[in-house]
Amino acid sequence: MSALLNVSNLHVSVGDKEVLKGLSLQIQPGEVCAIMGPNGSGKSSLSLALMGHPRYSLIGGTITFAGEVINDLSPDKRAKLGLFLGMQHPHEIEGVPYKDFLRQAYNALYDGTPWQMRIRDFHKMLLEQLDMLHMDHSFIDRSVNVGFSGGEKKRAEMLQVAVLKPKLVILDEIDSGLDIDALRQVSEALNKVREQQPDMAVILITHYQRILQYVKPNKVVLLRDGLIVKSGGQELVEQLEKTGYTAV
């Protein structure tokens, strides 16, 4: 099976600072890859570089996604190919109902394709996804992320994934700031979306083991100073939980 994402010898800088220093990584369709590491190791830099954030300059290596080299593609073109980034701190948009936000995002991705929908069909699909995620229908009438709790913001990200159906979801510390109940709800939502979209791959960036008790990774990689220094499976997560990063 061909890799969905192939990152080869990636070097990325922010201003004069090199933040990724020859990183290589492959992600297969349907795979869950947990990326762990201490603060400043390059985890968020990797997520933003993959999405083409303009502050992150690619100075070496290649990013190949769905068979296409995307080094020079803008973030919107990467999104249209099937990349999605769930942010650690989602923005609030006062006065824009969530249903309108999702409709515009869906149109931007799928207008002119066989998956475009009439407004009535889109609304029906949106309600079906809310039911699948056990979210109240009134949720989509609220302004985007305005007044949302931390858990609601992260569940809203899962609703976006369910509606937009990306090929690869990058979740940057989606467990940050969640209490035990909210973490379980968000994890269950992600697992439901994965059941619905079995070929969707996930890069799960986290500091902690707790989310990986709910969302089981196929592989785990440890970043330090812009490089992958160790990889493994669930046993690596357990080792990190016991000894911390410095002992590995």
pLDDT of residue 72: 95
Alpha carbons within 13 angstroms on the beta-carbon side of residue 236 total: 21
Dist CA 240 CA 235 (whole Å): 9
pLDDT of residue 194: 95
Specify whether the CB–CB gap between 45 and 226 falls below 8 A: yes
Domains of the chain: 5-243 (3.40.50.300)
Dist CA 171 CA 204 (whole Å): 5
pLDDT of residue 156: 92
pLDDT of residue 247: 60
What pTM did the predictor assign? 0.93
pLDDT of residue 151: 87
Give me 79's structure tokens.
């999104």
Dist CA 232 CA 218 (whole Å): 9
What is the total residue count of the chain?
248
pLDDT of residue 235: 87
Q: What is the pLDDT of residues 164-197, one digit of tens each?
A: 999 999 999 888 878 889 899 999 999 999 999 9
Specify whether the CB–CB gap between 44 and 88 falls below 8 A: yes
Which H, E and C letters describe 34-77, residue by residue? EEECCCCCCHHHHHHHHHCCCCCEEEEEEEEECCEECCCCCHHH
Tokens 């936000």 label which residue?
101
Q: Indicate the residue type of 54.
A: P
pLDDT of residue 176: 83
pLDDT of residue 248: 64
Tokens 């799928």 label which residue?
110
Q: What is the pLDDT of residues 226-237, one digit of tens each?
A: 999 999 988 888
SS3 content of the chain, % helix, strand, coil (to 5): 40, 30, 35
Tokens 């592989």 label which residue?
219
- Any bridge partners for residue 220, and if so which? 34, 232
Residues of the chain with pLDDT under 50: none
| Three-class secondary structure of residue 134 per DSSP | coil
